[in-house]
Amino acid sequence: MKSSLSIRKYQSFFRLRFIQGLQYRAAAAAGITTQFAWGFLLIIAFSAFYEADPAAFPMSFQDTVTYVWLQQAFLALFNTWMLENEIFDTISNGNIAYELCRPIRIYNMWIARSLANRFSRAVLRCSPILIVAFLVPKPYRMILPPDLGTFLLFVLSLVLGTAVATAFCMLVYGLTFFTISPQGVRVLFASLVDFLAGGIIPIPFMPDKVRAVIELLPFASMQNAPLRIYTGSLPAEEVKVMLGLQFFWLIALVLIGSSLCRLAERKACIQGG
Amino acid sequence: MPKNYRDKNGDVPTNNATGDVSKNTMAQDESSFVAKKTSALKLWMRYIGINVRCTMQYKTSFFMMVLGQFFVSFSVFLGVYFMFQRFHSVKGYTYQEVLLCFAVFLMEFSIAEMVARGFDSFSSMVRTGSFDQVLVRPRNEVLQVLGSKFELTRIGRMLQALLMFVYAIPRCGVDWNFAKVLTLLFMLIGGTALFSGIFMIYAAFCFFTLEGLEFMNVFTDGAREHGKYPIDVYGKKMLFFGTFIIPYALVQYYPLTYVIGKNDNPLLIFLPLLALLFLLPSYAFWRFGVRSYCSSGS
């Protein structure tokens, strides 16, 4: 009884944020044009490389195109650089004190609202991009997953990837309790993590040795896993390993993050006045 | 002549000197124009000085930001590096040639971003109404907006560009001579002007929308990110766009072909300077925005 009540609290946090996120339609429209142009330029650049040496391509051209379109469509789900300023503000201006008074766990509440933010953004943005991606002329067109099973695995992996990315962001918020000024750390982390996650070039395009290491890191469990499972060209074994890693990192990051937050709640000294 | 001298040295005009000027105004129209410019430059330098000292109050934050800016570009560089580990050329450009292109473009962008950052963050000026303050001051509003922000942290990006220059210049197989160095210099000048113009247009939009328009990012951040490859990599249509609509190609692709010896037409040396003309429509649009500005602040 008690646990179902406590889950309901976080559900309503989620719902509130989700509805709030859906209000920003103009911002979404602007974001869509940006992401569409971005994806298009990326794909043309890849096609120029493909012309230069098709044999050196680590994935099929179609898979690469699909990877880029999916990445642009679901960017809001798993990017780690779009952190919430509101959370940083409550920590640095001391409003966190009010949150601490409430009968809720800070960690769970932040997870709920971050997930809600990500999903509402993605819901607004993904469909126009996907529609265009399915309509553009052939070599640049996105493909459908080969069968229903692959699609379901993709959805599972997408949800896990979103959760891993959110759990990672929780670490950054938790650390802010101790460093107060988030700016520098944020920019520094953002670019490195984006690269390691396969945001700049897909991980298969990296040299084999680098790739072997990067694929094991938590960052590869964010966008890399779902976007590559989608096309169905990965062997079943590899898909299993990827999903396993996603589960593993999700649990690990949540454990680290929640204990960090608990520590912060006990030790934090409230800023501001 | 004496007036000119005085202004450059930044002395406060004495009574004697003022009398001098009033006697010679008719004859020295030209020199008073120069004096106006130099005093504007002096004021701008003063603005910069204040901004830099302001930034330096938070030294740790500053160094973290510089490092962060460096890594933002560095991760893009890593992407290029890894791509060229696998592919050895793209559209006939070698790795070193692409790096040269990336370095020039990134440098152009970073200088413009550092100097014209006031335009980039102009939306807050319109929203809070502090642009009203700018308008009541007896100085040019462009100068004041430029002076409102000077983003010194962008030297992180410049450092990245510089490192790529140091690596690419001796290795890109270019037989460096005076004309080619001059071309590179003109590219930097033209490119900085071009990006400043784009920032100015971005700011001018804020007069009508109050918010910065996110799609404009495609022309600034997007161009920086994707301009690492010469524009013709993106095909004929993009080259057309980059030549006649927003002239990126004038400061990137065309002069680059001259520098790396793909095209020997000496006219290409001066082509980047044509990008300076982009400032005209940008400024016209800005003026149009200022004229239709309607204060929103409280």
List, for residues B90-119, the tens digit of each pLDDT value.
988 999 999 999 999 999 999 999 999 888
Query: Residues of chain B with pLDDT > 70: what percent?
Result: 89
Chain B CB within 8 Å of residue A244 CB: no
Please state, in angstroms and rounded to a whole number, the distance separating the CA atoms of residues B165 and B163: 5
Cα–Cα distances in angstroms (integers) from residue B137 to residues B118, B143, B144, in the given order: 17, 11, 9
Give the nearest partner residue to A207 out of B64, B85, B88, using CB atoms: B85
Query: Residues of chain B with pLDDT > 90: what percent?
Result: 48
H or E element, residue B33: helix B29-55
CB distance A188–B68 less than 8 Å? yes
CB distance B63–A44 less than 8 Å? no
Instruction: Write the CB contacts of B44 (distance below 8 Å, at least 6 apart in sequence).
Output: B143, B146, B147
| pLDDT tens profile A179-197 | 766 666 677 777 888 899 9
Instruction: Write the CB contacts of B167 (distance below 8 Å, at least 6 apart in sequence).
Output: B96, B99
Give the nearest partner residue to B90 out of A48, A192, A205, using CB atoms: A48
Average pLDDT of A39-59? 91
Buried b (16+ CB within 10 A) or exposed e, A56-90: ebebebbbbbbbbbbbbbbbbbbbbebbeeebbeb
Interface test with B, best of A35, A41, A51 (most B CBs within 10 A): A41
Q: Considering the domain boundaries, does residue B161 fall inside one? A: yes
Average pLDDT of A6-30? 84
- The distance of A176 to chain B (nearest Cα, Å) reads 14
Length of chain B (residues): 298
At B149, the pLDDT band (50, 70, 90 cuts) reads: confident
- The distance of B156 to chain A (nearest Cα, Å) reads 12
Are the C-beta atoms of A151 and A145 separated by less than 8 Å? yes
Interface test with B, best of A46, A71, A189, A191 (most B CBs within 10 A): A191
Q: Considering the domain boundaries, does residue B21 fall inside one? A: no
Chain B CB within 8 Å of residue A186 CB: yes
Mean pLDDT of chain A: 87
Q: Chain A, 51-70: which have a CB under 8 Å from a chain B CB?
A: 51-53, 56, 58
Q: Considering the domain boundaries, does residue B210 fall inside one? A: yes
In terms of Cβ atoms closer than 10 Å to its own Cβ (0-12, 13-18, 19+), residue A203 is: buried
Kindly state the tokens that stand for B207.
């007069």
What is the model's pLDDT at position B79? 93
Q: Considering the domain boundaries, does residue B264 fall inside one? A: yes
Residues of chain B contacting A30 with CB distance shorter than 8 Å: 213-215
Q: Considering the domain boundaries, does residue B26 fall inside one? A: no
CB distance A205–B83 less than 8 Å? yes
Average pLDDT of B53-61? 85
Interface test with A, best of B62, B64, B66, B69 (most A CBs within 10 A): B64
Average pLDDT of B188-211? 90
Q: How many Cβ atoms are within 10 Å of B167's Cβ, its own excluded?
A: 15
Q: Considering the domain boundaries, does residue B1 fall inside one? A: no
Average pLDDT of A232-246? 93
At B19, the pLDDT band (50, 70, 90 cuts) reads: very low
Q: Given a cut of 50, is residue A113 above it in pLDDT? A: yes
Residues of chain B contacting A192 with CB distance shorter than 8 Å: 71, 75
Residues of chain A contacting B72 with CB distance shorter than 8 Å: 187, 190-191
Q: Considering the domain boundaries, does residue B40 fall inside one? A: yes
Q: Which residue of A has its CA nearest to B220?
A: A34
Chain B CB within 8 Å of residue A148 CB: no
Q: Considering the domain boundaries, does residue B115 fall inside one? A: yes
Instruction: Write the CB contacts of B10 (distance below 8 Å, at least 6 apart in sequence).
Output: B42
Please state, in angstroms and rounded to a whole number, the distance separating the CA atoms of residues B275 and B271: 8
Residues of chain B contacting A200 with CB distance shorter than 8 Å: 75-76, 78-79
In terms of Cβ atoms closer than 10 Å to its own Cβ (0-12, 13-18, 19+), residue B175 is: exposed
- The distance of B284 to chain A (nearest Cα, Å) reads 25
pTM strictly above 0.90: no
CB distance B222–A184 less than 8 Å? no
Please state, in angstroms and rounded to a whole number, the distance separating the CA atoms of residues A148 and A125: 24
Domain count, chain B: 1
Q: Given a cut of 60, is residue B26 above it in pLDDT? A: no
CB distance B91–A51 less than 8 Å? yes
Domain that holds residue B185: 35-291
Instruction: Write the CB contacts of A216 (distance below 8 Å, at least 6 apart in sequence).
Output: A245
Q: Given a cut of 70, is residue B264 above it in pLDDT? A: yes
Which 8-state DSSP code applies to residue A141?
P
